[in-house]
Amino acid sequence: MNNAENEYPEKQNVKAEAATVPDSSSTPFNQEVQNISKEALDNIIGNSAYQHLTTNQWSQQAVETIAVNLVKLNKPYKYIVTCVIMQTCAGAGLSVSSTCYWDKSTDLSFTVRWENKSVVTIVNVFAVAL
C-alpha cells in the first residue's frame, strides 16, 4: 500500500462515475429554474447584440441574479450556477458537459438554453440537498 492508501483507506475502493441525476425535467422545480433563469437573461441581455466587452458583466450578473432568486424559493438546497455566453455565428458549435459526485437520489441538475439574434447562453444550475 502506498502512503495515500494508508492515509485514506476509506477512499481505496471509491469509483468515480458520471452522475446519473434524477429526471428533474418533469418536476415543478424545473419550471421554476427555467423561469428564473430566462427572466434574468431577458432583463440582463434582452435584445442586445453580442459585445465581447460586456459578456463578463452579463455572465456575472446572470449567475448572481439566478442564485439569489433560487435562494428566495426556500428549498433545502445549496446552489451552484454557471453561465456560458457565446456569439451566434454561422458554423459555430458549442458542447457543454459536466459531471459530479453526489447523492443522485436528492441532488438535481438543470440546464437552460436562452438565445436572441446574436447571443446563445447556456445556464447550468446544480441543486445540492442540504
What is the CATH classification number for the domain harbouring 103? 3.30.1140.40
User: How confident is the model at residue 26, as a pLDDT?
Assistant: 55
**Residues 6 or more apart in contact with residue 79 via CB below 8 angstroms:** 67, 70, 71, 125, 126, 127, 128
Q: Is 81 inside a domain boundary?
A: yes
Q: Is 15 inside a domain boundary?
A: no
Q: Is 12 inside a domain boundary?
A: no
Q: Is 55 inside a domain boundary?
A: yes
- The model's pTM is 0.75
Expressed as residue numbers, the domain containing 41 is: 24-129
User: How confident is the model at residue 90, as a pLDDT?
Assistant: 67
C-alpha cell read off for 99: 459531471
Q: Is 14 inside a domain boundary?
A: no
Average pLDDT for runs of 10 along the chain of length 130:
46 41 62 95 95 94 97 94 88 74 88 92 93
Handedness of CA 86, 80, 10, 17 (dihedral sign): negative
User: How confident is the model at residue 24, as a pLDDT?
Assistant: 54
**Distance in angstroms (rounded) separating the CA atoms of residues 25 and 39:** 18
Q: Is 9 inside a domain boundary?
A: no
Q: Is 31 inside a domain boundary?
A: yes
Q: How many domains is the chain partitioned into structurally?
A: 1
Q: Is 2 inside a domain boundary?
A: no
